[in-house]
Amino acid sequence: MLRLLGLCFFLASSYAAQSTPRAIQVQSRSAHAVTRRRALKPVTLPLDDYFLGTDLQWIGNISVGTPPQTMLVVFDTGSSTLEFSSTMCGEACSNQVQFDPTKSSTFVEGNFTSVLTFATSTGVVPVIGNNAQITSRNATDTVSIGGLTIESTEVFLIINRTEPFFADPFSGILGLDAQANGVFSALIDQGLPSLFSFFLTPQAEGNAELTIGGIDHTKFDGKSSLTAERATFDSGTSNVLFPTDEAIYALISPDIVPHASENGAYGIACDRIPTLPAEITVQFTAQDGSAFNLTIPSIELSVGPFEDDPETCQTLINAFDGLNVVGGSLLKHYYSVWDVGGQRMGFAAV
Ligand SMILES: *[C@@H]1O[C@H](CO)[C@@H](O)[C@H](O)[C@H]1NC(C)=O
Ligand SMILES: *[C@@H]1O[C@H](CO)[C@@H](O)[C@H](O)[C@H]1NC(C)=O
Ligand SMILES: *[C@@H]1O[C@H](CO)[C@@H](O)[C@H](O)[C@H]1NC(C)=O
Ligand SMILES: *[C@@H]1O[C@H](CO)[C@@H](O)[C@H](O)[C@H]1NC(C)=O
Ligand SMILES: *[C@@H]1O[C@H](CO)[C@@H](O)[C@H](O)[C@H]1NC(C)=O
């Protein structure tokens, strides 16, 4: 079960092409800023785990419109916009809760249609390069997350999408990328500290959460290490991607080999899984130049047999040249702090 969502390479997004990264406002300490705005307190949202053979994504509720309509979304650090199914979407969104713009008094339609292309798939099926597309129309409306409200913020109403998205048990995606766009940027403008933290637990443990604007210190123990973002850490991706030339698979086990029928996917004979090392350590360089390790238990490695080759199990580490993406399979073993204002990340063992 592999799902790559919201990687930082929107291929055909007319919207993304227009959006320019904006400067991030770090909390100002000047008296002027203090009188100008009241600081917002962090909020913590419970997250459910979308589990399909493996922990795919973590999802939580936001509300949109007046009166509020509840939308379940993926909080995705690999993308920047907020899009969700709407009643304009018909069949292609029939499994999802759909936002009905005619029932919101604060809704303003935009009439600007864009197509976002994602790398995504569900199940052990082709992963990279399949064109999963969302067609959406822009609008503005009120959005609330855990009681924090942003008025008249840009949203994208999904009006059509391709088959890879049909099975999603959630309505949309809320982008929380490192440039602080959209909803998160509006909250920062209102005085919310420019960081958020994920506690992405495996489904069996439950109690996953997102704290926007702060850190939930009750969720970990010990000191966290900080690193400059050299890889792309992506909460919306279930797996870990490294360039082919790093030959990470060969380092783990010579039994892990490219899967012929799927570009970028790797597999191992299912009966060899017990021979794998107990854990995989990925070494990162922290901002001060020191090395630190993040470790994935090797149970994360297998996501089940390939459909076209049941003797071979797909591994959760994929090859993708030009991009390092570290997704949920690593993130769920740490409490992660995404300090957007400081452009750094923190990890704490849980
Ligand atoms: C989202 O809201 C629905 C009710 O609208 C509720 O059943 C569900 O448990 C909520 N999920 C989360 C993760 O809060
Ligand atoms: C959007 O299109 C509809 C129908 O074509 C039109 O009535 C409406 O005024 C347009 N809205 C905007 C904001 O351009
Ligand atoms: C929709 O997008 C167009 C083009 O970028 C923009 O001019 C318009 O203001 C947007 N409308 C809303 C309601 O956000
Ligand atoms: C949705 O997109 C599909 C192609 O992916 C197309 O066949 C279909 O006609 C579209 N539906 C609408 C309502 O535009
Ligand atoms: C990281 O892991 C490697 C291999 O297990 C080990 O040799 C190294 O000492 C570790 N580094 C740190 C900073 O813990």
Q: Summarize pLDDT for 279-315 with one digit per residue, the tens.
A: 777 666 666 666 667 777 776 667 778 878 889 887 7
Fold (topology level) of 45-217: Cathepsin D, subunit A; domain 1 (2.40.70)
What is the three-class DSSP state of 15?
A: helix
Q: How confident is the model at residue 39 (pLDDT cuts 50, 70, 90)?
A: confident
Reported as a single tens digit per residue, the pLDDT across 127-178 is 445 567 889 999 999 999 999 999 999 999 999 998 878 888 899 999 887 6
Burial of 115 (0-12, 13-18, 19+ CB in 10 A): middle
Is the model's pLDDT at 89 over the cut of 50?
A: yes
Mean pLDDT computed over 78-107: 93
Domains 2-31+219-349 and 45-217 share a fold: yes
pTM higher than 0.85 for the full model? no
For the CA of 72, the closest atom of ligand 1 is 1
- Are the beta carbons of 249 and 257 closer than 8 angstroms? yes
pLDDT at 101: 98
Share of the chain above pLDDT 70, in %: 65
Is the model's pLDDT at 231 over the cut of 90?
A: no
Please work out whether the CB of residue 291 comes within 6 Å of at least one atom of ligand 5. Answer: yes
CATH 3.90.950.20 fits 2-31+219-349, yes or no: no
Q: Which of 72, 74, 145, 199 to mutate to test the pocket of ligand 1 (most atoms within 8 A of CB)?
A: 72
For the CA of 109, the closest atom of ligand 2 is 13
DSSP symbols for 244-295: GGG-HHHHH-TT-EE-TTSTT-EEEEGGGGGGS-SEEEEEEEBTTS-EEEEE
pLDDT at 119: 60
pLDDT at 181: 72
Is the model's pLDDT at 184 over the cut of 80?
A: yes
pLDDT at 222: 55
d(CA 192, CA 38): 9
pLDDT at 195: 87
Please work out whether the CB of residue 112 comes within 6 Å of at least one atom of ligand 3. Answer: yes
What is the three-class DSSP state of 33?
A: helix
Q: How confident is the model at residue 333 (pLDDT cuts 50, 70, 90)?
A: confident
pLDDT at 40: 87
Q: How confident is the model at residue 339 (pLDDT cuts 50, 70, 90)?
A: confident
| Mean pLDDT over the full length of the chain | 74
pLDDT at 276: 77
Which residue's CA is the closest to the ligand 2 atom numbered 13?
Answer: 110
Instruction: Determine the distance separating the centroid of ligand 1 and the alpha carbon of 70, expressed in angstroms.
Output: 8
User: Which residue, among 92, 95, 53, 58, has the nearest Cα to 73 in the 3D structure?
Assistant: 58
Please work out whether the CB of residue 292 comes within 6 Å of at least one atom of ligand 3. Answer: no
User: Domain residue spans in the chain?
Assistant: 2-31+219-349, 45-217
Is the model's pLDDT at 77 over the cut of 70?
A: yes
